[in-house]
Amino acid sequence: MATRLLILLLLAAAVLTAVEVYHGQVVEFGNLTVVYSVYELPAVGVELNGCVYYVVRGHDPKVVDMWSRTQRELAEFYNFTERWRREFQYGTWPIIAEELRSANYSGYLDFYYCCGPLVNKSIAERLSKSSRWVNRTVSLADAVSKTLKAAGLDVGGVYINVWQGFISVEAFTDPRRGLSQYAKVRGDLDSVFKAYKDKLLVIINIKEAPAPSPYVVGLDPESVRKKLARLKEAIFQAYREVGVDVNPIDVVTGIGAREGLYLVLIAPPNETHLLRALTERSVKELGICPNGSVVIFFKTGALKPVGVDIPWRLAALEAAAMATAISAAVYVVKKKLVKPK
């Protein structure tokens, strides 16, 4: 599990952030503010001998321009949410804090409500009993998750932060379906949000990601590592078959949030020939093709893409610091809520 999580975090921080195209919209419902964020993979579908690949051409100038625009829009998004959280902490949070103190609550002030190993329902239950704001917010989180699932999205996580006043929901859909899924679910979510009256920020992240791959899904971390190594060897063989020499750093394989496959490769002279060779080689050597994989081609190699800054070294630091950063922030506030002896 730890190995799989590390693969996911490194890949997400180092590659996916650099290749996703961001679409954001802010909608107000009285005291409630909703940020819809769609993270689109600028991919084209390629089918060869029954094997489907979602190809992102990182060397395409139009794609590079989209990524540059995304960085600017993401900066605006982060600035907006930071301003909103500061406003909440100075205005609404003191009222909630007093409510929690009156109920003799002491403990953590943020939690994962769904899904996976980080979920802590006991914190949610204790906070809900101590605060009407938390109780109503948890009910809203349930309604949002139910609505997203009914629309066909995979809900991968729901995080609730009480002292900063926001919910963050991670929902996944297949490549090339993010915007259409957003359009489909927007109306249903709007009706849910109109019934909520408290001060709150809701961030709905709809992210495109490959579906679970039969090649790796459900396997233990060591088996996943071995499977990815064998797939990488099949990729090297495919390059050799089309007459292209590549360095080990030019090929990166990994899994994503839905246990789907990502292949980050150096762009060959003819990508169709390479993918056809990979399909045939993987079926012969592995018994299965990497169907549904996202393939990201960079012109100068996976580690030195033109026009895109991928923070590979920072990715390792982010993967190591994510959990501690959250717990440290919560601990500071937790101490404020502990009643003096």
Give yes or no for a contact between 85 and 201, defined as CB atoms under 8 angstroms apart.
yes
Residue 263 in this model has a pLDDT that exceeds 70? yes
Position of tokens 């580690």? 303
Residue 285 in this model has a pLDDT that exceeds 90? yes
Residue 27 in this model has a pLDDT that exceeds 90? yes
Predicted pLDDT at 124:
94
Residue 104 in this model has a pLDDT that exceeds 80? yes
Residue predicted with more confidence, 240 or 322: 240
Q: What percent of the chain has pLDDT over 90?
A: 65
pTM (predicted TM-score): 0.83
Q: Which residues in 214-244 are b (16+ Cβ under 10 Å) and which e?
A: ebbeeeeeeebeebbeebeebbbbbbeebeb
Token duo for residue 88: 């909440």
Predicted pLDDT at 300:
61
Q: Could you read off the pLDDT of 136-148 as tens digits, one per residue?
A: 999 999 999 999 9
**68 pLDDT band (50/70/90 cuts)?**
confident
Mean pLDDT score of the chain, rounded to an integer?
Answer: 84
Residue 75 in this model has a pLDDT that exceeds 70? yes
Cα separation of 161 and 179, whole Å? 27
Q: Write the DSSP assignment of 32-92 as a string of letters.
A: EEEEEEEEE---EEEEETTEEEEEEETT-HHHHHHHHHHHHHHHHHHHHHHHHHHHHHHHT
Residue 164 in this model has a pLDDT that exceeds 90? yes
Average pLDDT over every residue of 173-191: 93
Predicted pLDDT at 298:
86
Cα separation of 339 and 105, whole Å? 9
**14 pLDDT band (50/70/90 cuts)?**
low
Average pLDDT over every residue of 191-216: 94
Average pLDDT over every residue of 45-73: 89
